[in-house]
Structure 1
Amino acid sequence: MRIIAALFWGFLLINMSVYVISSMSGQAFDFATASIISVVFTLLVVVLGEAGVPNEPIDTHH
C-alpha cells in the first residue's frame, strides 16, 4: 500500500512540476514523457528509501 501511495503522489507531483516548468519555458507539455519520468523517479525514491532505512532499532549509548 505504501508503494502505491508513493507512486500515486509521485505521479501527480512530478506531472504538475513538469507542466509548470514547460509552461514557464514556453514548451509544449508532453504527458507521456512526464509520466515516464514520474514513474522512474518514484521507483528510484522507493528503492533508495528501502535501502537507507534500517529495520532494527538503534542502540543508544548514555
Structure 2
Amino acid sequence: MRFISAIFWALLISGVISYVLSSMAGDPFNFTHTIILAGILSVGVFALGGALKEESDH
C-alpha cells in the first residue's frame, strides 16, 4: 500500500510541477513529461526510504 500511495503522490506533485513550469515557459502541458518526472521521484523516494531504513536497523 505504501508503494501505491508514494506513486500516487509522486504523480500528483509531478503534475503540479509540470503544469506550473510549462505555464511559466508558455508551452503546452505535456502529460508524458509528468509521468517521467513521477517515475524519477518514485524511484528517488523508494531508494531514500530503503537507505534510511537500513541505517536505522543497525
User: TM class by shorter-chain length?
Assistant: 0.7 to 0.9
Instruction: Tell me if the contact between 1:7 and 1:43 (Cα under 8 Å) persists in the aligned partners.
Output: no
Q: Which has the higher helix share?
A: 2
Query: Using the alignment, how far apart are the partners of 1:32 and 1:7 within structure 2?
Result: 15
State TM-score, norm by structure 1.
0.75
Aligned to 2:19: 19
Structure 2: gaps spanning 5 or more residues: none
CA contact (8 A) 1:10 1:38 kept: yes
TM-score, length of structure 2 as denominator length: 0.79
Structure 1 gap ranges (5+): 58-62
Q: Distance in 1 between matches of 2:15 and 2:50?
A: 24
What's the RMSD between the two structures over aligned residues? 1.6
Match of 2:57 in 1: 56
Give, in angstroms, the shift of residue 55 of structure 1.
4.4
Distance 1:50 1:17 in 2: 25
Q: For residue 39 of structure 1, what is the aligned residue in structure 2?
A: 39
CA–CA distance in structure 1, aligned partners of residues 17 and 52 of structure 2: 26
Percent identity of paired positions between Structure 1 and Structure 2: 35
